[in-house]
Structure 1
Amino acid sequence: MAAPEERPDSADSHCTQTSDKSGVEPKATNPKISNEAKGSTSSETAEIRSPEMEGNETGRMLKSLQWELNRIQRTVRQTLQSKLQGLVGQSLPTLSENRELANSIQKMLDTHSLRIRCPQCGHASILRVSPRKGMLGGAFVLDHTIDGKRTFHGGSSSVPPIQLTAKPERKAKTTAKTRSQPAAAGEIRSKVG
């Protein structure tokens, strides 16, 4: 009967080796390191943290995959932010053209679950263009919610500074369907069932 195969079980077994073809010594990268510490956004820091998966090969593979996805998302965010800087301070002559510009930017950001960070308050926001008296091209505003109230910041005639951030998670709303409703007049309520 053959002896069972031994597998190394060192503290470094969760590290992934990376190298490039430049002949530089490979470096160990640890997918357990929080991306928050590296300046990432909240949607990039979702980690798989199941105690059952912690020690097995599948868990390590999933953590490595999540780490790689976080890296790709960070690269996309940084690239988009860099390219969009060319639009800062730009404006088109009409309200409809500026709205189309803002909608195009917002659609691009939505496909990657990104928002523009409001320079005034820091909240994740949606770029919009609103009509304003005396401004033929309208005003670029940042639309977001603060303490449950819809808020618009900005109001310049050109594209505001763009710093991208992750789209925040939606908050669950309490609807009328989830609350118990009183019986209508004359309606008999049954306690069966």
Structure 2
Amino acid sequence: MGQSPSADLYFGYDLGGPEDDDPTAMPEWMDNGDDWEDVLARRLGWVEAPFPDDYPQGRSHVYRFGTDEYKAAREADDKRVTEYKATSPKYLAYEASRAEKDRLLATVPVELDTYGYLDGDSPYAMRVVTSVQRAYDYGSIRLNPLVEAEEWRDHLARFIELLGFDLGDKQPGWHLNCSYG
């Protein structure tokens, strides 16, 4: 937990935490510790390419070199990595896979985020990305008008369906989550 206050104002759902008496049913993938972005992207058709097993590793012994030797060794390592990234079929497939994941996630502009700290588990917020207004530290911000865009409820409904949340009869709304960040 950080030492500075932060606050997020957003349109969506405050899902609370696992220790709340909230009837919100968290999907099984959350209990398994899976990353929501990976789960969502897979459900949208993403096929993950693994990180290449032959990715060039830096040489840790270069830190024992003198300044000039260190600089030359680092430049050689950087050149080797740059060449690998430009020519390795495995790495190019990995990068294409990551780009496809980002493209798919952008089609559902909703996110899950944690806030605060609750006896070892953080509560969750499900929020429309473009609605988030954030303040950090001990200052103030001018708020944008709290106007719900017409498509936001549809975005949230699609997100809920794709990730398997059971929110019962909860309705989305404006929330302010404050914590130390």
Fold-level similarity (TM above 0.5): no
Instruction: Give the TM-score, by structure 2 length.
Output: 0.23
The structure where helix makes up a greater share of residues is: 2
Larger Rg belongs to: 1
- TM-score, scaled relative to structure 1: 0.22
